[in-house]
Chain A
Amino acid sequence: MTETAATPKKRNEFISRRLRLSGILIIVGLIVEGLSLIWNHPLSFVAFLGLGGLLLAAGIILYLWTLASAPS
């Protein structure tokens, strides 16, 4: 009884942890991209793509990976 109740809880904790991490990565990426859009400079494009884009991609990949690898 205890073991069957613990499994979905563990699963939810795993997903929640991953969702939080991927969400934070995406939010930070969006903030960097937002700041780069306000700054009119050649380096802002590098920041947009090199930093914002990277964080955004990392967050999205982590989210998709969480969906695919969540324990059933």
Chain B
Amino acid sequence: MPTVAVLTLLAITAVFIGVIVTRPEITVARGGKILAFLGMFILPVFVGMLGFENHYERSKQTSFCLSCHIMNDYGKSLYVDNPSYIPAAHFQNNRVPRDEACYTCHTDYTLYTGGIKAKLRGLHHIYAQYLGKPEHPIKLYTPFNNRECLHCHLGSRRFEEGVVHTADPQTMADIKSNKLSCTSSGCHDTVHNVSQLDHVKYWKPQP
């Protein structure tokens, strides 16, 4: 739901409650009791859920991820003018939606999956960003899972019939079962490569 719609519903709820706060005597009548239950319980819970969903969707945006200083270099790496940089090639050629670029490849990141432990990691990131000292360079908690690549590439001709992928039957099986990593087995291993960002050319999108 759009933010404006959530804010409108939130304002309506606040007006409902405002009536009850200023005139609590209306709750003596049956109609008032129903109004109070609607305004003080049903609507706030509903608005809270919509607000959570709005925040959740917003946290998928590239701009959200890049709003933390430590992520600046990772955002910059999306503009490297070199097709061997996997995130840059995906971002620049619209293989991932540009406004949800980070989330598309890091779907297992903190908020989205992974249970309580992952959520605590998310809180730790906030603590490290504002009160502690973030690790530099930052690292993934677990090796990048081929699942994130196969989400789009599985079934595509270029992937399924690729010369290297089909060189022997075991290779394809190992890729699909995540035994052979796409990004760290020497095949597609130029990822964000942030330590080299001062020595590369950058793509400037057409205005």
Is A7 located at the chain interface by the 8 A CB criterion? no
**Number of residue pairs A-B, CB distance < 8 angstroms:** 94
A19-B27 contact in complex given A30-B44, A33-B48, A64-B41, C-beta closer than 8 Å = yes
Could you list which residues of chain B lie within 8 angstroms of chain A, going by C-beta atoms? 3, 6-7, 10-11, 13-14, 17-18, 20-21, 24-25, 27-28, 36, 40-41, 44-45, 47-48, 51-52, 54-55, 58-59, 63-64, 67-68, 123, 125-126, 129-130
- Judging by beta carbons under 8 Å apart, are A59 and B21 in contact? no
Total number of A residues with any Cβ neighbor in B under 8 Å: 34
- Judging by beta carbons under 8 Å apart, are B44 and A59 in contact? yes
**Bound: A71/B111 CA distance, A:** 44
- Judging by beta carbons under 8 Å apart, are B14 and A27 in contact? yes
16 interchain pairs (CB within 8 A)?
A12-B28, A22-B40, A26-B40, A27-B21, A30-B13, A33-B47, A33-B48, A37-B3, A37-B6, A37-B55, A38-B3, A40-B64, A45-B55, A56-B48, A59-B44, A63-B36
- Judging by beta carbons under 8 Å apart, are B21 and A30 in contact? no
- Judging by beta carbons under 8 Å apart, are B64 and A42 in contact? yes
- Judging by beta carbons under 8 Å apart, are A42 and B67 in contact? yes
Q: Mark A9-23, 1 if CB is under 8 A from B, else 0.
A: 000100110011011
A49 surroundings in chain B (CB, below 8 A) = 52, 55
Expressed in whole angstroms, the minimum distance between the Cβ of A15 and any Cβ of chain B is 7
- Judging by beta carbons under 8 Å apart, are B44 and A56 in contact? yes
* Residue among A27, A29, A44 with the highest chain B CB neighbour number at 10 A: A27
**Bound: A20/B40 CA distance, A:** 11
B59 surroundings in chain A (CB, below 8 A) = 42, 45
- Judging by beta carbons under 8 Å apart, are B24 and A37 in contact? no
Chain A, Cβ-Cβ closest to B56: A45
**Residues of A26-72 whose CB lies within 8 A of B:** 26-27, 29-31, 33-34, 36-38, 40-46, 48-49, 52-53, 56, 59-60, 63-64
- Judging by beta carbons under 8 Å apart, are B52 and A31 in contact? no
A37-B54 contact in complex given A12-B25, A60-B44, C-beta closer than 8 Å = yes
Chain A, Cβ-Cβ closest to B129: A42
- Judging by beta carbons under 8 Å apart, are A20 and B51 in contact? no
Expressed in whole angstroms, the minimum distance between the Cβ of A18 and any Cβ of chain B is 9
Q: Which of A19, A37, A56 is the one whose CB lies under 8 Å from B36?
A: A19
**Bound: A24/B130 CA distance, A:** 31
**Bound: A23/B202 CA distance, A:** 54
